[in-house]
Amino acid sequence: MKPIEIIIVDDKKIIRDGLKAIFSRSENFVIKSEASNGKEAIQLISKNNYDVVIMDINMPEMDGIETTRRIKKRNQKIKILTNSCHVHSHYIYEMLEAGATGFIKKGDDIDCYKEAIWTVNNGGVYLSEDISNETYDKVFNDIRSSRRAS
């Protein structure tokens, strides 16, 4: 089985370095590239193939929400896993509406990251355990309502 090829998009070098270090010993996941903002990510994604994008929300140049929209417009197959400390329903809704299929809280343990990447890569939706059932229900009800209205 080929490893899942990943690009990390985060303006914090320590986050990128930490994720690279964690996955450097894995046979199932490979960090192929990294970007410090949305514009850089779009450039890399237009030139290379990736399975999963680990995407921060708050970044300079272009935030994760707009970056996700633009990436998904160009490539529907690529999977986007939001990686943020902002687990408010507004952010979750915006990222999922933009095309992300997962949301993991920064600081979750490595097994959660592996499960999240595996889940979104295989067509599922992943939400961090820190996202309450109430938030989950609100986000998905809002998404269903907005899609019916369009």
What per-residue confidence (pLDDT) applies to 85?
Answer: 87
* Residues of the chain predicted below pLDDT 50: none
Q: How far is CA 51 from CA 16, 29, 40, 143, 150, in A?
A: 17, 10, 17, 24, 29
Q: pTM for the full model?
A: 0.88
Listing DSSP states for 71-94 in one string gives HHHH-TTSEEEEEES---HHHHHH
Q: Supply the range of the domain harboring residue 43.
A: 4-149
CA distance linking residue 62 with residue 41, whole number of Å: 10
CATH code assigned at 115: 3.40.50.2300
Model pLDDT, residue 38 = 96
Give me the number of domains the chain comprises: 1
Token pair belonging to 40: 């850089």
